[in-house]
């Protein structure tokens, strides 16, 4: 093991080690796992008592950060990043799985450029259902095609990596800048920070794959977006009403753009049209309804509902996908 980790990776579990076992196993399987300081954020030490010490041997070091009850994974992850010691820090969700070569690719990208954040190409960990593809497209659409790698205006804020020096100015206030409503990337860009999508760094991501979960996620994500858009722009009530009335047009406009960017012939997902397009149209309709509600009635419970999607992803998957991705015991 190295005594000087090059990369700190924060993984949060609101429950127990079993919840993050698959994520940690993928990290431990990296050829450069010995470059990683693994920072486990949990409610208390007892929460990860179900781990086998052998599961953590590949890492340069392992730190446990007990934070008490966790009701927001993004804020908990930010607390882990504050405590991390390596010059590059990452936060990986319990439903995201780094692919072979990820560590080398990320570290190499930072060594070759002035980047404050290096993003990974996002793949689908549960690709059977069209709804899963729809949710991946809407959550990570800009970052699923490795041919688009290079310097970008933005990279994923979930499953992200950062140069530690770029986060230091936020200090203990970092948790206030993360999450769906956070302004971390805006603040980094305003400070002159540049971002890179690394085509050789790949992460697969588990996505909601039931109708109910998709409806909840997309409606409340749309509602929060609508509220923030109108509030930031200081919209009048007349303008809010006009946008709400125009909401039914949103699915058609966005579906056309997403098709041209990802599903059209020659694009990365061109073979998925029969499977992905119906789910995408449904997801966009839920999102449009949410935007209309956000314009007219504010965020409602959207922040609380959206937080549940990061707490226990398996509850939002269909039976097949739960079996596919269910965390296993050490024995199997």
Q: What is the mean pLDDT of the chain?
A: 93
What pLDDT does residue 29 have? 97
For the cut 50, the answer to whether the pLDDT of residue 121 exceeds it is: yes
For the cut 80, the answer to whether the pLDDT of residue 117 exceeds it is: yes
**Rounded to 10 degrees, what is the CA torsion of 138, 161, 11, 43?**
-100
Q: 154 to each of 81, 109, 275, how far by Cα in Å?
A: 20, 16, 28
How many beta carbons lie within 10 A of that of residue 58, not counting itself?
A: 20
For the cut 80, the answer to whether the pLDDT of residue 3 exceeds it is: no
Do the bridges between strand 36-42 and strand 7-13 make them parallel or antiparallel, or are there none, so unpaired?
parallel
For the cut 50, the answer to whether the pLDDT of residue 1 exceeds it is: no
What pLDDT does residue 134 have? 93
DSSP E strands: which ranges in 52-152?
Answer: 61-66, 88-91, 96-98, 117-124, 150-152
Listed by start position, the domains of the chain span: 7-205, 211-316
Q: Is the Cβ–Cβ distance between 268 and 144 less than 8 Å?
A: yes
Q: Is the Cβ–Cβ distance between 43 and 70 less than 8 Å?
A: yes
pLDDT digit string (tens) for 263-279? 888 887 888 888 888 99
What pLDDT does residue 83 have? 95
What pLDDT does residue 207 have? 96
Which residue, among 138, 139, 307, 294, has the nearest Cα to 229 in the 3D structure? Answer: 294
User: Taking residues 304-322, what's their average pLDDT?
Assistant: 90
Q: Is the Cβ–Cβ distance between 289 and 322 less than 8 Å?
A: no
What pLDDT does residue 44 have? 94
User: Taking residues 202-222, what's their average pLDDT?
Assistant: 96
pLDDT digit string (tens) for 125-163? 999 999 999 999 999 988 999 989 999 999 999 999 999
pTM of the model: 0.91
Q: Pick the range with the lowest mean pLDDT from 85-99, 214-228, 267-281, 290-304.
A: 267-281
pLDDT digit string (tens) for 42-85? 999 999 999 999 999 999 999 999 999 999 999 999 999 999 99
* Count of positions (residues) in the chain: 332
Report the SS3 class of residue 36.
strand
CATH class of this structure's domain 7-205? alpha beta
């Amino acid at each position: 093991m190295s005594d000087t980790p090059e990369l700190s990776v924060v993984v949060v579990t609101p429950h127990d080690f079993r919840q993050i076992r698959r994520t940690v196993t993928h990290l431990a399987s990296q050829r450069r796992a010995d470059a990683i300081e693994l920072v486990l954020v949990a409610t208390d030490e007892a929460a990860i008592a179900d781990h086998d010490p052998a599961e953590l041997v590949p890492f340069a070091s392992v730190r446990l950060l007990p934070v008490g009850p966790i009701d927001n994974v993004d804020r908990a992850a930010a607390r882990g990043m504050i405590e991390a010691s390596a010059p590059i820090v990452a936060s990986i969700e319990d439903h995201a799985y780094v692919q072979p070569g990820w560590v080398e690719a990320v570290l190499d990208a930072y060594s070759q450029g002035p980047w404050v954040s290096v993003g990974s190409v996002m793949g689908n960990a549960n690709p059977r259902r069209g709804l899963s593809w729809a949710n991946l497209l809407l959550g990570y659409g800009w970052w699923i095609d490795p041919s688009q790698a290079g310097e970008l205006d933005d990279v994923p804020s979930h499953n992200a990596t950062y140069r530690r020096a770029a986060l230091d100015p936020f200090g203990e206030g970092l948790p206030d800048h993360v999450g769906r409503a956070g302004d971390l990337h805006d603040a980094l860009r305003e400070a002159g920070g540049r971002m890179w999508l690394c085509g050789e760094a790949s992460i697969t991501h588990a996505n909601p794959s039931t109708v109910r979960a998709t409806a909840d996620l997309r409606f409340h994500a749309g509602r929060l977006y609508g509220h923030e858009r109108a509030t930031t722009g200081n919209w009048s009530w007349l303008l809010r009403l006009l946008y709400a009335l125009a909401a039914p047009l949103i699915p058609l406009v966005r579906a056309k753009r997403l098709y041209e960017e990802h599903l059209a012939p020659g694009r990365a997902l061109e073979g998925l049209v029969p499977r992905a397009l119906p789910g995408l149209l449904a997801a966009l309709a839920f999102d449009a309804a949410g935007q209309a509600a956000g314009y007219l009635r504010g965020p409602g419970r959207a922040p609380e509902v959206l937080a549940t999607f990061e707490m226990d992803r398996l509850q939002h998957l269909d039976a097949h996908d739960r079996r596919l991705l269910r965390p296993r015991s050490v024995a199997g």
